[in-house]
Structure formats: C-alpha cells, structure tokens
Amino acid sequence: MRLGLQDVEWEYVGAKLAQDDDEAQAKFFKSFIKECLSWGTQYQVELQLAMVNDKLTADEKNVIGMLGYEGGE
C-alpha cells in the first residue's frame, strides 16, 4: 500500500481529517487498523505503534486517549 501513496503531505491530511466528521474519522481509523493487522502479527503492530507513541508529546497522547477508552458502568 505504501507505494500507492507517494509524496503525501501528512500534516495536511491530518488537518483535513481533524476538520471532518466522526464518520469519516472512524472510517480512517478502521482502515488504518485493518491495514496494520494485515502485517502478520500483533507484535509487529504493537511495535510500530510503540514507535509512533515515542514520537508524541504527553499532550498529543492525552488527546488521542479516547480512541482506546472503554467506558464502564
């Protein structure tokens, strides 16, 4: 898939996605996760996401924290 997206301005893509609605954002994250899971092992996915996590600030991690939130009663 990487070869199909060359010279992408990721900052622009991220800004546009942030301005879109929750339906479009959910589609993005679902397709991102689906692609990650095609790599072969859960370990590969976790390793890649750990590398991304290392590049985020504490504030950025706080903002995306709701993506993994599972509310309870």
If we measure between CA atoms, which residue out of 43, 25, 45 comes closest to residue 34?
45
State how far the Cα of 48 lies from the Cα of 52, in Å rounded to an integer: 6
Token pair 């993506």 is found at 67
Structure tokens at 45: 């996915």
- The predicted-structure confidence for 1-59, as pLDDT tens digits, reads as follows 556 667 889 999 999 999 999 999 999 999 999 999 999 899 999 999 999 999 999 99
Q: Which pLDDT score, from 0 to 100, does residue 6 have?
A: 77
Element (H, E) at 56: none
Position with higher pLDDT, 70 vs 48: 48
Q: Which pLDDT score, from 0 to 100, does residue 51 have?
A: 97
The answer to whether the CB of 64 falls within 8 A of the CB of 49 is no
Q: Which pLDDT score, from 0 to 100, does residue 69 have?
A: 86
- Radius of gyration (C-alpha) of the chain in whole angstroms: 14
